[in-house]
Amino acid sequence: MTSSSSGPLRIGILGAARIARLFVEAVRPSTKVVVTAVASRDGDRAAAFARELDIGRVHSSYDALFADPDIDAVYVPLPNNLHAEWSIRAAAAGKHVLCEKPLAANAAQARSMFDAARKNGVYLVEAYPYRAQPQTLKVRELVTAGAIGRIQLIQASFGFPLTDVANIRMDPTLAGGALMDAGSYPVSFVRMVAGTAPVRVSALSCWGATGVDLTTMATLEYPDGLLAQISCSFTTARHRHAFISGDAGSISTPYFNDTGAAFPPLVDVRRGSGWDAEREVIETGSTAGFLAEAESFHDLVRFGWEKWTGATPDESIDIALTLDAIAASSRRGVPVEVGR
């Protein structure tokens, strides 16, 4: 493993997609992480990307970046169907891995990825920038403290309009679709709050001409009686919202990746079980999600799991298992047990 124990975490990026650009721009102010190199199978594209974003090194292949001894970790923002292959190869090269969500195309791939990370003594985590937001940390704090009592119901949604059929999200061979792209967010939010995976799911989807789901809704059942609902869509106005109801109150929040003046980090808390419940609207600190996530990733690599604010390996496996079950239920039209 090639990792410097001091100084900023040196990150190499696989590919030159738009999300990679957003990541580089967001982490630029950091003193904890630095983007040192980019690799692409299109050398000209990688070179142009590096020039525009002032990245010092360009590699003509992903394997060449893995062989670079001055890279500690890699960020994997590739199409969903490529996450497993290249994360496993990065781990085998001794690089820590921050992989975009969804971690893999299915749970079996996700397990193989974590097996590779453990075998090679590196960290591998799934990227959900909202998990590093002060807003989300406040929600977790309130739930853990029992501020709204025993959790009974969770609802989480994320949708936005997408009409370009050439977009990779519309390609089923690339593990595209609303569930895999947008749906991984509400599924991950529900897993964070519930603290465990559901036992059974029931789902319904509307399908597009390319063969991917354009909208999916699902009900998630838990052994203790907790129920959750998630929805995701490529056909709605942009929205992102979560609601948690306990037996002694409720929490409402827009769990944004990025917060600021345009997307205020608000947590709306109601304490009490009646219409007269006491209301408190908490506004937390705001930050760029990629920046907060990358710095948490640095802390993970340097100091261990207790410093990581994002999804743990167990959470990521549960998320993948839940996505698998939702996809199966929506295609078969019947409730599906969640694998273990």
pLDDT 10s digits, 143-161:
999 999 999 999 999 999 9
pLDDT for position 329 = 98
Query: Which whole number is the average pLDDT over 173-194?
Result: 98
pLDDT digits (tens, 9 = 90+) for 60-71: 999 999 999 999
Pure H helices in 145-265: 178, 184-194
Residue 2 has pLDDT above 60, yes or no: no
pLDDT for position 1 = 47
- For the chain, residues classed under CATH 3.30.360.10 are 131-290+319-337
What is the spatial distance between Cα 208 and Cα 88, in angstroms, rounded to a whole number?
32
Residue 104 — pLDDT band, cuts 50, 70, 90?
A: very high
- Note if 138 is an active site residue: no
Q: Which of 101, 119, 138, 307 is catalytic?
A: 101
Question: Cβ distance 234 to 182 under 8 Å?
Answer: yes
What is the side-by-side strand order in the sheet with 227-233? 278-283, 266-271, 249-253, 239-246, 151-159, 227-233, 213-221, 200-207, 336-337
Across the chain, mean pLDDT equals: 96
Residue 117 has pLDDT above 70, yes or no: yes
pLDDT for position 4 = 53
Element of type H or E holding 329: helix 313-332
Residue 49 — pLDDT band, cuts 50, 70, 90?
A: very high
Residue 43 — pLDDT band, cuts 50, 70, 90?
A: confident
pLDDT for position 41 = 86
CA 255 to chain centre: 12
Beta strands in the chain (DSSP E): 9-14, 33-39, 57-59, 73-76, 96-100, 124-127, 151-159, 200-207, 213-221, 227-233, 239-246, 249-253, 266-271, 278-283, 336-337
Question: Cβ distance 242 to 253 under 8 Å?
Answer: yes
Provide the CATH topology of domain 131-290+319-337.
Dihydrodipicolinate Reductase; domain 2 (3.30.360)
Residue 244 has pLDDT above 50, yes or no: yes
Q: What are phi and psi of 68, to 5 degrees?
A: -75, 115
Pure H helices in 223-288: none
Distant-in-sequence, close-in-space partners of 145: CB < 8 Å, separation ≥ 6? none
pLDDT for position 56 = 92
DSSP 169: G
- For the chain, residues classed under CATH 3.40.50.720 are 9-127
Options 3.40.50.720, 3.40.605.10, 3.40.50.300, 3.90.420.10; CATH for 9-127 is 3.40.50.720
**Percentage of the residues of the chain whose pLDDT score is greater than 70:** 99
pLDDT for position 14 = 97
**Cβ atoms < 10 Å from Cβ of 304:** 10
What is the spatial distance between Cα 31 and Cα 7, in angstroms, rounded to a whole number?
8
Residue 165 — pLDDT band, cuts 50, 70, 90?
A: very high
Residue 18 has pLDDT above 80, yes or no: yes
What is the side-by-side strand order in the sheet with 33-39? 57-59, 33-39, 9-14, 73-76, 96-100, 124-127
